[in-house]
């Protein structure tokens, strides 16, 4: 391990132990929003939708967790299949396949990191730089799941590029470009930057958590190649905050 990696690891472990592991997780009640999910685009191959915050992407194990994006979309489009997911608290653009070919084709693009995405977030405070890259490997903190943690020994590579859009008082609006798709990647990377996402019930300190009515993280754009012909496409979901 390089001296820089060792510095990051020691810093993370101390912060994690002091600020997260000794603090009980906030309570969570699943109360998904009502109403139809907005369809931004549809053709015979796939659907582009704008997932609302508070809605699971796929059903959970318990009966009260069955209402989700997948089930709502399949009530309107029985053939629709999930390709990727967003966290329950995250809103924004997603693609669902309507054919087995589209599912395989677009799914492989995700797997091979040929899909590009951008997110918009509001974070607590203002970074000292106007842009940067966070390259910290992540893994599930199993005894404290669903929390994720940085681990340089067994963590999976995770890379996020970020750029400030504007700062207003104690809050900064930021553009995030994940280059990998690890669970909670943007949330943990922003925490490691020292600026947690507002409203994040898992990682934000109390001031940042209470500063927003929901987690202010939104999947803004999604770029991939059309499964029929390979045309490069970009879809946008307007940020609601």
Question: What are the tens digits of pLDDT across the range 156-191?
Answer: 999 999 999 999 999 999 999 999 999 999 999 999
Please compute, for residue 103, the number of CA atoms within 13 A of its CA located in the half-sphere on the CB side. 9
Residue-wise pLDDT for 187-209, tens only, equals 999 999 999 999 999 999 999 99
Residues 54 and 69 in one domain: yes
Same domain, 130 and 180: yes
pLDDT tens-digit profile of 22-59? 566 898 999 999 999 999 999 999 999 999 999 999 99
Same domain, 85 and 133: no
Query: Cβ of 65: how many Cβ atoms within 10 Å?
Result: 14
Is 33 a member of any domain?
no
Q: Is residue 198 included in any domain, yes or no?
A: yes
In a domain, 141, yes or no: yes
Q: Give the pLDDT confidence of 56-76 residue by residue, as tens digits.
A: 999 999 999 999 999 999 999
Do 125 and 214 share a domain, yes or no?
A: yes
- What confidence score (pLDDT) does residue 104 get? 98
State how many domains the chain has: 2
47 within domain boundaries: yes
**Predicted pLDDT of residue 25:** 82
Asked whether residue 74 falls in the same domain as residue 139, the answer is no
In this structure, the answer to whether residues 100 and 129 fall within a common structural domain is no
Q: Inform me whether the pLDDT recorded for 15 exceeds 60.
A: no
pLDDT band at 145 (very low <50, low <70, confident <90, very high): confident
Q: Residue 182: which CATH number?
A: 3.30.2350.10
- pLDDT given at position 20: 52
Q: Are residues 146 and 194 in the same domain?
A: yes
Q: Which domain holds residue 155?
A: 118-218
Q: H-type helices in 17-137, by residue range? A: 69-76, 100-111
Average pLDDT, the chain: 92
Supply the pLDDT for residue 29.
Answer: 93
Average pLDDT over residues 93-107: 98
- Mean pLDDT score, 16-22: 48
Q: Tell me, what's the pLDDT at 1? A: 46
Distance (Å, whole) CA 4 – CA 80 = 46
> Given 58, 77, 112, which residue is the final one in a domain?
112
Domain boundary among 112, 127, 149: 112
Mind telling me the catalytic residues? 87
Q: Which residues contact 8 (CB under 8 A, 6 or more apart)?
A: 136, 150, 152
């Amino acid at each position: 391990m390089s001296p820089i990696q060792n510095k990051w690891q020691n810093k993370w472990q101390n912060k994690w132990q002091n600020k997260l592991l000794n603090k009980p997780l906030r309570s969570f009640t699943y109360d998904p929003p009502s109403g139809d999910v907005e369809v931004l685009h549809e053709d015979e191959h796939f659907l582009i939708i704008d997932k609302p915050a508070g809605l699971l992407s796929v059903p959970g194990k318990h009966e009260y967790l069955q209402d989700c994006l997948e089930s709502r979309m399949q009530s309107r489009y029985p053939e629709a299949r999930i390709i990727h997911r967003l966290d329950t608290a995250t809103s924004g653009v997603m693609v669902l396949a309507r054919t087995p070919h589209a599912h395989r084709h677009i799914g492989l693009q995700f797997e091979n990191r040929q899909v590009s995405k951008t997110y918009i977030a509001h974070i607590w405070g203002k970074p000292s730089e106007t842009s940067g890259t966070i390259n910290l490997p992540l893994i599930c903190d199993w005894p404290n799941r669903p929390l994720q943690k940085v681990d340089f020994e067994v963590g999976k590579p995770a890379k996020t590029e970020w750029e400030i859009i504007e700062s207003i008082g104690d809050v900064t609006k930021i553009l995030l470009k994940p280059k990998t798709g690890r669970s909670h990647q943007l949330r943990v990377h922003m925490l490691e930057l020292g600026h947690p996402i507002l409203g994040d019930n898992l990682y934000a300190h109390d001031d940042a958590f209470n500063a927003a009515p929901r987690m202010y993280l939104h999947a803004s754009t999604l770029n991939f190649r059309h499964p029929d012909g390979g045309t490069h496409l970009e879809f946008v979901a307007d940020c609601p905050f």
